Each structure stands twice: as structure tokens, then as C-alpha cells.
């Protein structure tokens, strides 16, 4: 009895169920979508007892729309009929199915990317995101990447439709976007070689999923898949690929609709595996490999069955067969699709599902993800309601940490150039030492990168740029050289030296924060002290003038001698007591005339003066003459002693620009030259005009040649314009140089790197930390003052103009010494002549006379002398007596000779 009741209940339940058929059209390669369709219906039937859906799965061709249309007509004309048709994926066949379903008003639900359709149907729904909104999402992502330039590689015209909004991002003043289509053959390497030559590192790749890995592998073959290359894959299934086979550190970014970590997706995949296992088939599908089409099919089936059940409860839906070509329509089709357009479906695998009035999906979420080794990390999400922005899921610190971790996995190539103190060759510390790699170099740049690498924990390798140039753009060849070229061609991750951050370079590469601030200044040589001449006191008057003065001295002395002989007033009475002398005497012999002239010349006067009118007139003329000569000599001497201070000199750029005697120049092709060439400031523009027109050229190949020219140009007639930091270095090592004036501008040295380098923020943070903790100052002191002969002490340039050094007046002391020495020699000659005279007159031997005169000369305390020599005893007695007024022995001898005469 109980068994019968159970059977009746079961029979009633079975009879009460309404069974509806849903058609599914799939291709042979749509295995995941077919499973999603099949097991979504099974799961619905498992938990719902009022309605049962049966799946009618048909595998169709991709190339025969007519055969597919016949199959669809056969499905809808069966006794059970179909309440909806899902698929197929092929766009050619899909258009035919859509047309048949539209005529019969049977709901047709698509799950693939569609652009504008030629046939509009009120019963057609496409759960794939609307192509226009998806294009907006992709454009917003590209805009947030902040790429200055990028290249688009596309597969077909439909791919360009997906990127239509990206193409609109290009501004009038920005570089044009380069577009390249994939070659029809499988070999894409010629295309990537062209991309490599262009120097582009940001690439947007739009192609089918199955081609992505092969295309990227070919890019790697031409070195276009390195750390500093950025790829944005716009295919929604790119995240299902295994990028580890590429073995690359390139930054690969893509988008997806399905989150593999979604518990609903994981449960769904488990249902698929269990369902296949029940059918004796083992299938393993990781959630990370679930395709977008399969997830969309799962959501489409669940959405349709849910909406159908809700409508069926309010008013039962009756399924009936319809015939193609007989203008029959199914009454429930329009009702179902209309309801699905107004009802959003939540908690789907691909986010919220919502359609507009045309059956296009307008509610979805696009996740931006990065492929990092074996990990896939979500970085941001795009939502239609805020179409111009991205919602980032990682904080700035987390993003920075990830970038640093990526940097640590590669060897950072650093390009530089030789130029002390920034970089120079290291000398071996002992004989036989072999220097390799980074050990070959030393300098400020090495220490700076080493400090940055220790903070960020990466390894680096230094190499020298091929042409040794900083980086200048050639307008004719439209190419950069030097360090900038190394970065553009991706031979280097970083470039460091005394590389100035300029507008033109900033348009080609990125720079870190300045690690050193500086400005253009003037390097000039210090005034060289004139050669010292101990006879400098002779130079105020020309040699000819000195000869004329000596000649005038002798000539005038002779004239006065003759005048005094003829002038009666100069003949005097030798005995004033005798009023009527028989003889007159004239004291103006040649000796006295010369003495008078010399005394007046030295401004000392004389104990005898002329008394005649004519002789006095002649002496007055000499005094007038010597007054003018002495005054002129004094004035010229003062001017001569300060003449070395009157050398050409400058104190700022304004003074340099106003004069034309001192030439000045810069490094040819450097940033300093660019500064003057492009400056609108009148002073600097005038300076550039003078430099550009100077003959011979005032420009030098490098700073070393400019410094050498400053030092070797005579009379300080060349100044070199260079950056103040390098001037400080040169002045520290050469005390003959100096910096003139202040900085003409303000700029900085920075670490250069390719545009949009992901590690730029990390480098900036490291530089900022070193600036705050004083590391940068310590490095500068080390290489500017402590290393390689630095530490030149500042000295007073030439001293004060009032200072007289011994070298200036040493000749005066020499003349004094020589004159006194000559006088002493003459005194010895006079002494011996006097000894001879005494010996002859006193009739004694020369020896006795010499002894007597020498003894008397040694007794310095005796101030009187006898008129005639006597015995030694009498001599001693007479030592304390006054033999005669003045005790002048020579006067007595003179009187004796006169009496003899």
C-alpha cells in the first residue's frame, strides 16, 4: 500500500512537470561552451521540480550557413518545439540562425563578440559585452597606462573596431600612433624587426587567443620581449594562456571578464568534471583556463532559465512547434526576451548582466590583470557607470613592491661615459691585477648607482656608450646619439653621468628626480702675477729718459762750473779778516758742482750754494727740471705698481656680453650650447650671436678641452661656459681657475631611463632617500674634494694694490748696498792714500804710518787728532789734551802743502 502511494506521488510529480527544449548549436572546438550549456541545465533541473529543460545539442559547421538553417528549421518544427536557441560561435553561421529565429520570434542568445549587425531582431540577445562599451574600456585602460607613444598590432578589420576608441586618444600635439597589421603568413619576425628599429617598446596586440603565444615567441627572437617592453593584450581569453613558456620579464597586461578565484566558477568547474566523470570521461579544467565563451554560456543559460521560470509562474508558457516559411511565430518568444531586457541578472560568473532595448549587454566589469611569471594579479577594474576611470585594487606601495621584485629578477644595464669625476677608469691596485666588469670603473656615477642598487636590491652592469656622447637629436637624420640612443634602442635600462635634464631629452626618455642641481656659469683663469723685477723702480721712466737725465745731470753740472768761473759773485775772499786780499778763491770746482746737482736731485740740498746771479739762475732751472722729473717719477711709480691689477677682467655674464675682447664658448652639441641657442633672454641671445659668429670657433669638443683653452690662452682672453658642478670640480684641482658670477639658469642631473619605465618611481624614491639622509652630499664631497687631487685652497688673487713686495723694491736695497760698498772701498783707498802721504811727509816708513793710523782708527772713543805724529808717550799724553780746534789732521796737512806752494 505504501509502495503504491509512493508511486502515485512520483507519478503526479512527473506528470506535473512542464518540459521545455532548449537548442544549443556548437562547433567541434567549443567543448567548454558545450559543457557549460549542458551542465547548467542539469543543475537547474536538479533543484527545480516545476519545470524541466531538455538540451538539444547539435554540432554544426562554421562554413555552411544553409545547412545550419535547415537544421534550425528542423529543430523548431519538432513536436516539442524549442523555447530558445544558443549559439553558434561562428559569425557567418550565427547571422543565418539569427535571421531564422527572428522570423519565428524564438529567443536567440549569442555569446561571442559582435559588431554592428545587418539584421535587427527584437528576440535576439548577446550576452557578450557591447563592442562600443568594450572599446571604451580598452581606451580608458590605455589612457591610464600613460604611454606617450605606442604601436597597435592588429589581426583584421574587426580588431580595429575593438580599438576604435584607442585611436581617438591621439592628440594633435602628441606623436601619432603607429598601426601595423599582422602578416598573412605565420612569420611575423620581419614586422617585429621594423618595430625594433623604430625603438617602440609599448605594444597593443589584438589577435585571436591561439595566436598570442606564437606571436610573442617571435617577438622574443628579435629581442622585443625584454624587461622594458610593455604588451597590452586586448583578448579576453589571454589570461588562460601559459606565458611561462616564453621565459620573459616583459610587462604583459591583459583584460578578462572571469575571475578564476570566484567560488561560483570553481563550483561550476567541479560540476563539469563530475558530470563528465559520470559519463566515464575524465576531464580536468583548472579555473584559470575557463574561456570567456564558456563562462558567458553558463551565465546565459542561468539567466534565461531564471527569467523563464519567473514568467512561467505568473502566466504559464506553452511551447509549440512552428514551421519555417509559413509566417508562423511563437507567442512566448517576444515576452521572454522583453522581460530579460528589463531584468538584470546578478551574481553571474562575468558580473552583473543587463541588456539595453536592442539586446546588447551594457552592464559588465572588465578586470585589468598583469601576467607576472606564473602569477596573474588583478590591478584594476573598469565599470560602465564610471567609464573614464579605473578602480585600482592595489595600493601604491604594493605596486611599487611588485615593480621592485620584477627589477630584482634582471641584470640592470647602465650606460655611461667617461668623464671625471662621474666616471673614470680604475687603476689596478697592484701589478698584474686584471679589472673586469664593473671593477673597471670608478666615480660618482658608480657610487650613486651602487647606493640605489643596494636600496632596491638589484644587480647592475656598467658599459660605455659607443660614441661617448650625452645625447643630441639630429634633425636631418631624425636620430639620437649617445646615451639617449642606448635607451631608445633598449640596450640599457638606465643611463647616468652628468646628463642634464632638458626638454628635448625629456620628450624621448624619462628622468628620475635630480640627484644634483646646478646651472650654467663662467670658468675663467685667475690673474697671473707679473714677473718680479728687482729694478722695477727703474721702469716708471723709459731707458732713454734715464739716459737723458744722466746726460742732463753731467751737462748742467759742467755749465754751472763754467758759469761759476765767469760769474764775479762766485769768487770769494778766502780770509774774511783781510779786507784787501791779494787773491780770491772759487769753491765751484767740478766736484762741488756735481754735489750740488746731486743734492737737489735727491731733494736733500747742499751745504754750499751759488752766489752769482747767472749761476743761481742756472741752478734754479735745474731745480725746476728735477721737480718735474721727480713728480712724474713718483706718479708713474705708483701707477706701475698697480698696473697688474688693470688686466682684462669680468665678474658676471652681463659684463662678458658687453665686451668683445674676451672670447667665450661652450661644449659643441651640449646642453649648455642648447641653452644659449634657444634662450629668449636678451643677454644670453647676444652672447650666442657672438659665439656663433666668432672666428676661429670658440666651441670645444668636451669640457677638458675647454678648461685647457682657458689655461693656455694668453692674457686671460678666453672664458668657458659650463655647468657649475663641473666648474667646482675643476677649480678644486687647479688653483689657477676660478668661477665667475653666479648661475645663469637652474637645472639638474638625472638618471635617464626609457619612457614609461615601471621602475621610475622606485628610482625616484631611492634618490629622494639619499638626498634626505645626506648620502648625495657625502658622495659629492668624496669625488670633488677628497679624490683625485681635490682640495685646492682659495688664495687672495694678486693681493691688495697697495702691497709692495720685496721683489718690487729689492733693486733699491741693491743700489743702496752697492753704493755703500763702493763708498767703503773708496774710504779704504783714501785711508791707504793718507798713510802714503803721512809716510812721505813725516819721513817714516809706510808700515809705521799704517800702524799709527790703524791704531787711531780703532780707538773710536777719540774724537780729536794731532796735527803731526810724535812718540807714543807724547801721543798718549796728548790723548786727553786739545791740541787744536777740530783736531783735523788733514787740515794741517793741507795748510802745510799750501805753505810749501
Q: Residue 13: pLDDT band by 50, 70, 90 thresholds?
A: very low
Quick: pLDDT tens for 380-438. 999 999 989 999 887 777 778 878 887 888 889 999 999 888 999 988 888 878 888 89
What confidence score (pLDDT) does residue 815 get?
A: 60
Q: Residue 458: pLDDT band by 50, 70, 90 thresholds?
A: very high
Total residues belonging to the chain = 901
Which is nearest to 731 in space by CA: 702, 701, 711?
711
Q: Residue 843: pLDDT band by 50, 70, 90 thresholds?
A: confident
Query: Distance from first CA to last CA of the chain, Å, rounded?
Result: 199
Which is nearest to 764 in space by CA: 748, 746, 779?
748
pLDDT > 70 fraction of the chain, expressed in percent and rounded: 86
pTM of full prediction above 0.85: no
Average pLDDT over the chain reads 83
Q: Residue 347: pLDDT band by 50, 70, 90 thresholds?
A: confident
Residues 468, 701: Cα–Cα separation, whole Å = 11
* Strand blocks (E) in 694-812: 718-723, 737-740, 747-749, 752-753
Q: Which residues pair with 381 in a beta bridge?
A: 367, 391
C-beta separation of 556 from 532 below 8 A? no
Residues 483, 511: Cα–Cα separation, whole Å = 12
C-beta separation of 113 from 128 below 8 A? yes
Greater confidence (641 vs 139) lies with 139
Quick: pLDDT tens for 811-829. 555 665 666 577 668 778 8
Q: Return the ∠ at Cα 858 (arms to 856 and 859), rounded to 5°.
A: 65
What confidence score (pLDDT) does residue 146 get?
A: 80
Q: Which residues pair with 516 in a beta bridge?
A: 749
β-strand pairing of 360-363 with 124-129: parallel
Which is nearest to 779 in space by CA: 721, 745, 729, 737?
729
C-beta separation of 203 from 232 below 8 A? yes
Quick: pLDDT tens for 518-532. 888 999 888 766 566
Q: Is the dihedral of CA 340, 342, 347, 348 positive or negative?
A: positive
Which is nearest to 366 in space by CA: 383, 352, 354, 378?
383
Classify residue 363 by burial, with Cβ atoms within 10 Å: 0-12, 13-18, 19+. buried
Instruction: Kindly write down the DSSP assignment for every residue of 212-266, as one continuous string.
Output: HHHHHHHHHHTT-SSTT-EEEE--TTGGGS-GGGG----EEEEEES--TT-HHHH
Quick: pLDDT tens for 546-580. 888 888 888 888 888 887 777 777 778 777 777 77
Quick: pLDDT tens for 219-258. 999 988 888 788 999 999 999 998 888 888 888 999 999 9
Cell of 844: 817714516
Q: Residue 6: pLDDT band by 50, 70, 90 thresholds?
A: very low
Tally: H helices and E strands in the chain? 30, 30
Residues 331, 114: Cα–Cα separation, whole Å = 27
Going from the N-terminus, what domains does the chain have, and what CATH number goes with each?
Answer: 16-129+286-357 (3.40.50.2300), 131-262+368-392 (3.40.50.2300), 408-517+748-793 (3.40.190.10), 520-526+647-745 (3.40.190.10), 536-572+586-643 (1.10.287), 810-900 (no CATH)
Amino acid at each position: 500500500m505504501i509502495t503504491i502511494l509512493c508511486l502515485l506521488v512520483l507519478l503526479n510529480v512527473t506528470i506535473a512537470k512542464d518540459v521545455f527544449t532548449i537548442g544549443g548549436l556548437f562547433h567541434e572546438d567549443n567543448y567548454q561552451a558545450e559543457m557549460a550549456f549542458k551542465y547548467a541545465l542539469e543543475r537547474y533541473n536538479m533543484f527545480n521540480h516545476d519545470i524541466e529543460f531538455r538540451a538539444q545539442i547539435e554540432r554544426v559547421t562554421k562554413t555552411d550557413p544553409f545547412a545550419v538553417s535547415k537544421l534550425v528549421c528542423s529543430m523548431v518544427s519538432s513536436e516539442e518545439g524549442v523555447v530558445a536557441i544558443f549559439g553558434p560561435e561562428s559569425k557567418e553561421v550565427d547571422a543565418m540562425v539569427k535571421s531564422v529565429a527572428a522570423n519565428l520570434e524564438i529567443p536567440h542568445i549569442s555569446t561571442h563578440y559582435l559588431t554592428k549587425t545587418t539584421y535587427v531582431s527584437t528576440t535576439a540577445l548577446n550576452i557578450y559585452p557591447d563592442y562600443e562599451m568594450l572599446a571604451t574600456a580598452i581606451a580608458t585602460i590605455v589612457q591610464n597606462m600613460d604611454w606617450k607613444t605606442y604601436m597597435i598590432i592588429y589581426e583584421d578589420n574587426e580588431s580595429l573596431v575593438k580599438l576604435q576608441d584607442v585611436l581617438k586618444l591621439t592628440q594633435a600635439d602628441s606623436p601619432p600612433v603607429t598601426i601595423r597589421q599582422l602578416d598573412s603568413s605565420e612569420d611575423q619576425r620581419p614586422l617585429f624587426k621594423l618595430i625594433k628599429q623604430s625603438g617602440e617598446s609599448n605594444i597593443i596586440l589584438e589577435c585571436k587567443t591561439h595566436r598570442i603565444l606564437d606571436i610573442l615567441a617571435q617577438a622574443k627572437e628579435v629581442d622585443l620581449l625584454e624587461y622594458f617592453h610593455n604588451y597590452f593584450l586586448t583578448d579576453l581569453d589571454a589570461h588562460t594562456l601559459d606565458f611561462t613558456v616564453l621565459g620573459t620579464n616583459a610587462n604583459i597586461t591583459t583584460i578578462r571578464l572571469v575571475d578564476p578565484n570566484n567560488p561560483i566558477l570553481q563550483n561550476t568547474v567541479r560540476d563539469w568534471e563530475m558530470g563528465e566523470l559520470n559519463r566515464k570521461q575524465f576531464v580536468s579544467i583548472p579555473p584559470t583556463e575557463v574561456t570567456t565563451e564558456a563562462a558567458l554560456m553558463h551565465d546565459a543559460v542561468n539567466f534565461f532559465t531564471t527569467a523563464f521560470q519567473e514568467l512561467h509562474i505568473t502566466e504559464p508558457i506553452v511551447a509549440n512547434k512552428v514551421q519555417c516559411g509559413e509566417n508562423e511565430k511563437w507567442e512566448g518568444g517576444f515576452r521572454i526576451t522583453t522581460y530579460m531586457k528589463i531584468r538584470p541578472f546578478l551574481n553571474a560568473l562575468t558580473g552583473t548582466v543587463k541588456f539595453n532595448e536592442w539586446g546588447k549587454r551594457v552592464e559588465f566589469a572588465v578586470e585589468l590583470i598583469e601576467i607576472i611569471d606564473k602569477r596573474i594579479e588583478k590591478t584594476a577594474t573598469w565599470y560602465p557607470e564610471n567609464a573614464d576611470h579605473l578602480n585600482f585594487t592595489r595600493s601604491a606601495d604594493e605596486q611599487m613592491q611588485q615593480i621592485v621584485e620584477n627589477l630584482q629578477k634582471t641584470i640592470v644595464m647602465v650606460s655611461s661615459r667617461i668623464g671625471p669625476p662621474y666616471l673614470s677608469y680604475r687603476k689596478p691596485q697592484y701589478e698584474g691585477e686584471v679589472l673586469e666588469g664593473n671593477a673597471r670603473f670608478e666615480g660618482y656615477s658608480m657610487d650613486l648607482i651602487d647606493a640605489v642598487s643596494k636600496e632596491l636590491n638589484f644587480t647592475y652592469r656598467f658599459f660605455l656608450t659607443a660614441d661617448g656622447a650625452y645625447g643630441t637629436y639630429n634633425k636631418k637624420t631624425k636620430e639620437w646619439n649617445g646615451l639617449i640612443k642606448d635607451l631608445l634602442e633598449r640596450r640599457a635600462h638606465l643611463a647616468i653621468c652628468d646628463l642634464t635634464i632638458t626638454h628635448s631629452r625629456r620628450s624621448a626618455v624619462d628622468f628620475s628626480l635630480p640627484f644634483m642641481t646646478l646651472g650654467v656659469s663662467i670658468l675663467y683663469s685667475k690673474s697671473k702675477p707679473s714677473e718680479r723685477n728687482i729694478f722695477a723702480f727703474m721702469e716708471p721712466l723709459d731707458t732713454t729718459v734715464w739716459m737723458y737725465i744722466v746726460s742732463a745731470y753731467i751737462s748742467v753740472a759742467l755749465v754751472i762750473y763754467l758759469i761759476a768761473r765767469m760769474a764775479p759773485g762766485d769768487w770769494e775772499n778766502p780770509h774774511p779778516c783781510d779786507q784787501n786780499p791779494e787773491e780770491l778763491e772759487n769753491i765751484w770746482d767740478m766736484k762741488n758742482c756735481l754735489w750740488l746737482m746731486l743734492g737737489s736731485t735727491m731733494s736733500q740740498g747742499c751745504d754750499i750754494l751759488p752766489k752769482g746771479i747767472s749761476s743761481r739762475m742756472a741752478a734754479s732751472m735745474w731745480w725746476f727740471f728735477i721737480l718735474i722729473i721727480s713728480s712724474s717719477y713718483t706718479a708713474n711709480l705708483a701707477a706701475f705698481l698697480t698696473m697688474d691689477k688693470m688686466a682684462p677682467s669680468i665678474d658676471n655674464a652681463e659684463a662678458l656680453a658687453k665686451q668683445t675682447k674676451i672670447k667665450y664658448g661652450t661644449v659643441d652639441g651640449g646642453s649648455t650650447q642648447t641653452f644659449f641657442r634657444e634662450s629668449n633672454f636678451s643677454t644670453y641671445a647676444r652672447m650666442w650671436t657672438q659665439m656663433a659668429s666668432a672666428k676661429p670657433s670658440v666651441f670645444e669638443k668636451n669640457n677638458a678641452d675647454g678648461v685647457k683653452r682657458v689655461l693656455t690662452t694668453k692674457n686671460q682672453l678666453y672664458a668657458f661656459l659650463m655647468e657649475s658642478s663641473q666648474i667646482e670640480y675643476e677649480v678644486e684641482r687647479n688653483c689657477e681657475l676660478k668661477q665667475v658670477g653666479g648661475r645663469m639658469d637652474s637645472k639638474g642631473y638625472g638618471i635617464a631611463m626609457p619612457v614609461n619605465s615601471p621602475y621610475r618611481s622606485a628610482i625616484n624614491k631611492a634618490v629622494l632617500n639619499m638626498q634626505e639622509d645626506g648620502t648625495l652630499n657625502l658622495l659629492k664631497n668624496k669625488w670633488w674634494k677628497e679624490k683625485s687631487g681635490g682640495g685646492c685652497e682659495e688664495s687672495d688673487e694678486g693681493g691688495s694694490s697697495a702691497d709692495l713686495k720685496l721683489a718690487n723694491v729689492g733693486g733699491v736695497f741693491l743700489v743702496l748696498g752697492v753704493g755703500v760698498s763702493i763708498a767703503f772701498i773708496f774710504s779704504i783707498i783714501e785711508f791707504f792714500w793718507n798713510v802714503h802721504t803721512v809716510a812721505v811727509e813725516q819721513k817714516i816708513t809706510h808700515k809705521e804710518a799704517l800702524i799709527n793710523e790703524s791704531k787711531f782708527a780703532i780707538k773710536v772713543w777719540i774724537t780729536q787728532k794731532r796735527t803731526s805724529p810724535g812718540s807714543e808717550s807724547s801721543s798718549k799724553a796728548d790723548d786727553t789734551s786739545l791740541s787744536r780746534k777740530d783736531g783735523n789732521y788733514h787740515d794741517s796737512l793741507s795748510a802745510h802743502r799750501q805753505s810749501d806752494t
